[in-house]
Structure 1
Amino acid sequence: MISRNLGEDASKTKSGLTAMIPTVLGGLLGKTSGATTAPTWWNTVADLFDGDDDDDLKLGLLGDTKLDDAGKGLLGSLFGGNLDSILGSLAGASGLARDKSSKLLSTVAPMVIGFLSRWAKKKGLSFTGLIGNLMNEKSAILGALPSGIGGGLLGFADKTRDTVDDTARKVADVRTSKPKFNWTWLLLLLAALILLWLLLGRGCNRTKEKVEDAATEMVNDIDQAAADIKESIKGALNDAGDWVYDLGATIKKKLADGTEFEVGVNSVEYKLLEFIEDVNLPVDKTTWFTLDRIYFETGSSNLKAESKDQLDRLAAIMKAYPSVKLKIGGYTDNTGSDVVNMALSSERAEAAKAELINRGVAEERLEAEGYGPQHPVCPANDTPECRAKNRRVDVRVTAK
Structure 2
Amino acid sequence: MALNIIDLIKGQLGSALISQAASQLGESESGVSKAISGLLPAVVGGLANNADQPGVIDSITGAASSGILGNLLGASSGNSLISTVLSAIFGDKAGGLVNAVSTFSGVSNSSSHSLLNLVTGATLGSLGKYVADNHLDASGISSLLQEQKGIVSSLLPAGLTLASLGLGNWGSVATPDAEKVLLTSDDQTKVEVTRGGTSTTNVETNDYNTDGGSIWKWLLPLLLLGLAGWFLWTQFNKPTTDSTTTTSDTTTEVIQDTAVANAPTAATTTAKSPTEIDLNGIKLKGNAGGMEESMIAFLKSDGYKNASDDAVLKDKWYNFDNVNFKMGSSTELEPGSQEQIDNLVAILKAYPEVKIKIGGYTDKTGDEAVNLKISQSRAEFIKAALVKAGVGAQVSEAEGYGSKMATVPASASDAERAKDRKMAVRFTK
- The TM-score bracket by the shorter chain reads 0.3 to 0.5
Whichever structure has more helix as a proportion of its residues is: 1
TM superposition score normalised by structure 1 = 0.38
**Larger gyration radius, structure 1 or structure 2:** 2
TM superposition score normalised by structure 2 = 0.36
